[in-house]
Amino acid sequence: MTGGECVFCDIVRGRAEASVVHEDDATVAFMDLRPVTPGHLLVIPKAHAQGLEDLDVTLGTRVWSAAHRLGRALRGSGLRCEGVNLFLADGKAAFQEVFHVHLHVLPRFAGDGFRIDADWKVRERDELDENAAAVRAGLARLP
């Protein structure tokens, strides 16, 4: 993918502005342009990967490690942070809007207004066991 097609690749190459808070040889973290709360960060791999299917496992580990460290840093930053959510949207159905893997690091506090709404009802064990079997089958097909 070329720089003009991916704003996050443009950020990595210095062709687009970003308020960078962390950078290493594999990842960059910067402030979200539309933050849910003050301090809302995005952590991305420098190498373009559209989604989890394209993301090298080692690189994914580096993204997660950077997000973990930044989540801890938010607590000592002076920004309001009573908790932290890590959120990754993989695919359009999951609300991914920029198709370059990015892990949101969201400082949270009571009354911040951020919600993920779903049908959180308890499921029957048979349904859970069936779904677990499907995921195990998916794992078996991975290289």
Please report the pLDDT score of residue 63 as a whole number.
Answer: 98
Spatial separation of the C-alpha atoms in residues 67 and 109, rounded to whole Å: 18
- Encode pLDDT of 109-120 as tens digits: 999 999 988 889
Count CA atoms closer than 13 A to 91's CA, side-chain side: 5
Which residues does residue 29 pair with via DSSP β-bridges, in sequence order?
22, 43
How does residue 135 score in pLDDT terms, banded at 50, 70 and 90?
Answer: very high
Can you give the pTM of this predicted structure?
A: 0.92
Domains in the chain, CATH or no CATH each: 3-116 (3.30.428.10)
